[in-house]
Amino acid sequence: MRPVGAALVALVRLLVGAHSRWVGTPPVCAQCIFFANHTSHIDTLAIWAALSAPLRARSRPVAARDYWDRDPVRRYLAVQVLHALLIERHRDARQSDPLLVMSEALEHGQSLILFPEGTRGAGPLPAAFRGGLYHLAMRFPEVLLVPVYLENLHRALPKGTWIPIPLICTVRFGMPLERLPAEQKESFLERARAAVVALA
């Protein structure tokens, strides 16, 4: 790992802990889509720091371009250190489908870190999930779907604040979500959200 990445992992662990805990399953080494609740700007960094070095090396966070591309420092961290996929949250018909970018990453054997709510929430539990996770799960049935719950990050760096409060935060990884034959999108998304909530 590059020195900047190693320093970033150390800083995140110093500030919020970002201790990883695998619940009901041993740590996985396969290609995954990690999907989590989203309450803080530090969520992406916490999951990235909590992964083992081999998983971290091939995992690409899915991040909002309007936040991470706002200035040179954030752009450098997102693109050069995290190797994030920067997605337009507010797009018009001329802009590309963000699922195509994520699909290309999965086709190349990379894992994804994403937040199916699509935006940050204010409380400890996630809001309803949007449909992107479902479509990726159907397109790539061999990729593991790993729920993740970020504990305490809504308190360590809540929405609207910029300086982290030093709290011990845990990143809980759950058992991979099973795909059910002929399951409809709404049912799948409810199960996916429930898998994250169950880790709370």
List, for residues 139-182, the tens digit of each pLDDT value: 999 999 999 999 877 665 556 655 666 567 889 999 999 999 99
Sequence letter at residue 81: V
Closest CA to 154 of 16, 60, 56: 16
Residue 194 confidence (pLDDT) above 50: yes
Measured on CA atoms in the order 69, 72, 73, 77, is the torsion positive or negative? positive
User: Using CA atoms, how far apart are residues 26 and 21, in angstroms rounded to an integer?
Assistant: 9
Under 8 Å CB-to-CB from 100, ≥6 apart: which residues?
none
The residue extents of the domains of the chain are 13-197
User: Using CA atoms, how far apart are residues 169 and 85, in angstroms rounded to an integer?
Assistant: 25
Measured on CA atoms in the order 114, 59, 100, 66, is the torsion positive or negative? positive
Note if the pTM is more than 0.75: yes
Fold (topology level) of 13-197: Glycerol-3-phosphate (1)-acyltransferase (3.40.1130)
Residue 192 confidence (pLDDT) above 80: yes
Average pLDDT over residues 18-41: 91
Task: Check if the beta carbon of residue 147 is closer than 8 Å to that of residue 199.
Answer: yes
Our CA dihedral for 184, 142, 174, 39, rounded to 10 degrees, sits at -70
Residue 116 confidence (pLDDT) above 90: yes
According to the per-residue pLDDT averaged within each range, which of 26-35, 112-121, 145-154 is highest?
A: 26-35
Query: Structure tokens of 4?
Result: 């900047």
Closest CA to 61 of 30, 84, 29, 77: 84
SS3 at position 32 = strand
Query: For 42-94, what is each residue's pLDDT tens digit?
Result: 888 889 989 999 999 999 999 888 888 888 988 998 889 889 999 887 665 44
User: Using CA atoms, how far apart are residues 191 and 197, in angstroms rounded to an integer?
Assistant: 10
Task: Check if the beta carbon of residue 109 is closer than 8 Å to that of residue 31.
Answer: yes
Query: Structure tokens of 63?
Result: 């991040």
Burial-class residue 124 by CB neighbours within 10 Å (0-12, 13-18, 19+). middle
Query: Structure tokens of 78?
Result: 């997102």
User: Using CA atoms, how far apart are residues 101 and 114, in angstroms rounded to an integer?
Assistant: 13
User: Does 34 or 69 have the greater pLDDT score?
Assistant: 34
